Structure 1
Amino acid sequence: MLSPFIFKHHQENKNLFLERFPANQVNRSLQAWDAADEYICNYVEQEQLFTSNTNILIFNDSFGALSANFKDHCVTTVTDSIISHQGLVHNFELNHLPLDNITCITSLEALPNNVSVVLYKVPKNKALLIEQLINIKNSLKEGTIFIAADKAKNIQKTTLAIFEKYLGNTTTSLAVKKARLIFCQLNNSQHYEVPKPTTWEISTPKLTLSNLANVFAREKLDIGARHFIQNLGDVNKYKEIIDLGCGNGIVGLSILAQHPQANITFVDESYMAVASAKLNVENNFPDLVSQCQFITNDCLHNFDSDSVDAIFCNPPFHQQNAVTDHIAWQMFKDSYKVLRKKGELRIVGNRQLGYHIKMKRLFGNNTLIASDNKFVTLSSIKK
């Protein structure tokens, strides 16, 4: 096992040992922090921006690098990922840091209004960026210090125009280690309404889908999901079903359309995804809501063994901005544990990812259900 990565805290001449979460992932070469984290911390220290017990609001802190560096202040950290929350706690424990001054809130909760400084990691998702900036503008007072950070290549003129539009006068720093900072002067003269969920329809099955800002493929049905819902098989033979990595719930909703007697648990690591799935069940199958559970979780952590009949999964192949298959591998291992004997794991994936090898290694069997030039639907049965 590789040693944890070292994040230098220059002012106190200390090191933080940070791991990506979950800590047992196969690809240990992926860092739990980046140059943008370093830049924003070093800038704050050099400029001596903080007094004692400054109220800091931190957005999109993937594994706690920013929060850990400012542990002596009153920190509220906002993320849409339960894994990021768990990663923060894990890294605080790894470094024997107290969590007394840290408040973790989700992307669905109201922001505190007694904030002096906002430290903001720019998300990849433009819709989430806009919604977060509007919430900042509507919740915080003028004069609040706002500093954002990202890789320099991601900070385009269009990006800066978004900050300028929703927050106020915007400037940038020079690039350091291929990262840049964005500075905004909050201007509350104009009020913006938080965008409503994006809504669209599909015809087979007939569904209306609403999607909050950070939901994958929020504006249309992605081609992988389309391939999957066309190849769900005979779902009527199963009673207890999990839609793992549910996103907006399209797979579970398609199962309910065929099998309204099913009990379905929708699981995702995104708070907005799970909220979207719940909204979509309420809107499309209001009489079946009581048969459904909606859980934000790291895969199937703490689910009972031998407890469900089938798991349907469209696994991600990235975490934050890193391409990795460790989440899919964890999903497959958790599924094997949670499935009853003769239970089925059915997944969709890009052809080149080789998921059939991992599934066969776990289950001892794997069947190709359907394929096209880009996607495969695969099935394994727990013997």
Structure 2
Amino acid sequence: MTTPWGTFALSRFPEDPRDRLRAWDAADAYLLRQLADREVPLTGDVVVVGDRWGALTTALAEHGPTQITDSFLAQEATRANLARAGVPPGTVRLLTTRDRPPERIDVLLVRVPKSLALLEDQLLRLAPALHRDTVVIGTGMVKEIHTSTLKLFETVIGPTRTSLAEQKARLILCVPEPGRRRPVNPWPYRYALPDGVGPASGRTVVNHAGVFCAERLDIGTRFFLAHLPATRGVRRVVDLGCGNGVVGTSVALANPDAEVLFVDESYQAVASAAATYKANGVPGHAEFRVGDGVAGVASDSADLVLNNPPFHTHQATTDATAWRMFTGARRVLRPGGELYVVGNRHLGYHVRLRRVFGNSEVIAGDPKFVVLRAVKR
């Protein structure tokens, strides 16, 4: 990626030589050109929010920015890209969305996330650190920026306008009004599960901003909950890609003797899973981990893995994440251990499971979803 601050070799995380997706796009490049063209002073406290793979943070590393991200993978990509660029450790401050935000921000750069709720939560958390002279610029592809996006910037921060589009990317230019009355942050959000979803029926779900289907139970998860396996005698269960933790919590309610590991690459998701588990007073034992799937989990250590894999990486449709989840699940399962997967029928996960496990069985299906079972032989 060539920028006004130099040319950088960037990659996503984990690195895969077969991956043809870049670690930056036109929105990143547009924002960096705007900073240079406007001669925005970067000598103060620079904060970069939602940097997809660390492209913005790496390009501006000489100015010692603070990066805030909800993604473990994005943070690891940033570390790798900074090291590749020869940036000394400690030059950039890496924070997550669960960390205390900076107390002062002189330049705020926002990569617009897919989730409007996550943007709302982050802007409300960061707004108190802005002052009248803070430069606020958002960026995203045209299809990612909507009227609701602009309205949110204006409601929380101040007068907002957009730039002309360049290479299908657009900027959001916002002028802070420190005295502006802001709405109360509505996150985290709670709701009760409907009847008919097994042991979790009527139980409380807690969702932090940005978690998939944060305001209601999505139909895929509801279908999965109705077809979970019996877990009597199961010692260790992994809720892989746990989201708000409703699947793992349901298992814990049905079998308090089971140890449940909740894992997701989203800090917001793992915080939600921990809150959901606690809200329901489950008597069992649980572990909550942010990471790249089951990386770091001991091999042959689990009896059951439950998985609802994502098939999008930001705006790109890909099965790379599902593939890593399936291969990781096979590694951590004990011989005879089982992987249960729910997914849209058209995704064809049974083909991938047969390649990884050598077997795949349909447990349940409807016109939209299918629950599959694979066994480690």
Give the secondary structure class of the aligned counterpart of 1:248: coil
Give the secondary structure class of the aligned counterpart of 2:232: helix
- 1:65 aligned residue (47, 55, 61): 55
Cα distance in structure 1, aligned partners of 2:242 and 2:265 = 9
Offset at residue 152 of structure 1 (A):
2.0
Aligned-partner residue type, residue 325 of structure 2: M
Aligned-partner residue type, residue 316 of structure 1: P
Per-residue CA distance 1:11-66 (angstroms, 9 max, x = gap): 34x3211112111275x221211111000001111221125x43210000011100
Residue matched to 2:298: 304
Per-residue CA distance 1:220-243 (angstroms, 9 max, x = gap): 111111111111122113111100
Cα distance in structure 2, aligned partners of 1:60 and 1:192 = 22
Change (3 A) 1:134 1:145: same
Per-residue CA distance 1:326-350 (angstroms, 9 max, x = gap): 0000001111111111111111111
- 1:76 aligned residue (66, 80, 85): 66
Matched, 1:330 2:321: no
Matched, 1:320 2:314: yes
Offset at residue 286 of structure 1 (A):
4.4
Identical-residue share of aligned pairs (%): 37
Give the secondary structure class of the aligned counterpart of 2:273: helix
Superposition pairs of residues 268-283 of structure 1, within 5 angstroms: 268-283=264-279
Of residues 310-319 and 158-167 in structure 1, the stretch that sits farther from structure 2 once superposed is 158-167
Aligned-partner residue type, residue 232 of structure 2: N
Aligned-partner residue type, residue 335 of structure 1: A
Cα distance in structure 2, aligned partners of 1:369 and 1:59 = 42
Cα distance in structure 1, aligned partners of 2:17 and 2:344 = 21
Unpaired segments of 5 or more residues in structure 2? none
Cα distance in structure 1, aligned partners of 2:287 and 2:163 = 46
Residue matched to 2:36: 45
Across the two proteins, how many residue pairs are aligned to each other?
A: 371
Residue matched to 1:35: 26
Change (3 A) 1:212 1:165: same
Superposition pairs of residues 1-383 of structure 1, within 5 angstroms: 7-9=1-3, 11-12=4-5, 14-24=6-16, 26=18, 28-51=19-42, 53-189=43-179, 190-202=181-193, 203=195, 204=197, 205-206=200-201, 207-288=203-284, 291-383=285-377
Offset at residue 194 of structure 1 (A):
2.1
Q: TM-score, normalised by structure 2?
A: 0.95
Cα distance in structure 2, aligned partners of 1:362 and 1:196 = 39
Cα distance in structure 2, aligned partners of 1:56 and 1:365 = 51
Unpaired segments of 5 or more residues in structure 1? 1-6
Give the secondary structure class of the aligned counterpart of 1:365: coil
Aligned-partner residue type, residue 357 of structure 1: V
Aligned-partner residue type, residue 355 of structure 1: Y
Q: TM-score, normalised by structure 1?
A: 0.93
Aligned-partner residue type, residue 57 of structure 1: V
Cα distance in structure 2, aligned partners of 1:246 and 1:156 = 29
Offset at residue 285 of structure 1 (A):
2.4
Cα distance in structure 1, aligned partners of 2:190 and 2:148 = 25
Offset at residue 153 of structure 1 (A):
3.1
Aligned-partner residue type, residue 131 of structure 2: K
Asked if the contact 2:104/2:129 (under 8 Å) is kept, the reply is no
Structure 1 runs (4+) deviating above 3 angstroms are: none
Per-residue CA distance 1:176-208 (angstroms, 9 max, x = gap): 111111111111222433223211112233211
Aligned-partner residue type, residue 233 of structure 1: P
Asked if the contact 1:235/1:259 (under 8 Å) is kept, the reply is yes
Aligned-partner residue type, residue 252 of structure 1: G
Cα distance in structure 2, aligned partners of 1:282 and 1:154 = 35
Asked if the contact 2:237/2:260 (under 8 Å) is kept, the reply is yes
Cα distance in structure 1, aligned partners of 2:223 and 2:283 = 27
Cα distance in structure 2, aligned partners of 1:191 and 1:168 = 10
Asked if the contact 1:137/1:187 (under 8 Å) is kept, the reply is no
Change (3 A) 1:286 1:310: closer
Asked if the contact 1:25/1:326 (under 8 Å) is kept, the reply is no
Residue matched to 1:4: none
Cα distance in structure 2, aligned partners of 1:370 and 1:68 = 46
Residue matched to 1:3: none
Offset at residue 287 of structure 1 (A):
2.9
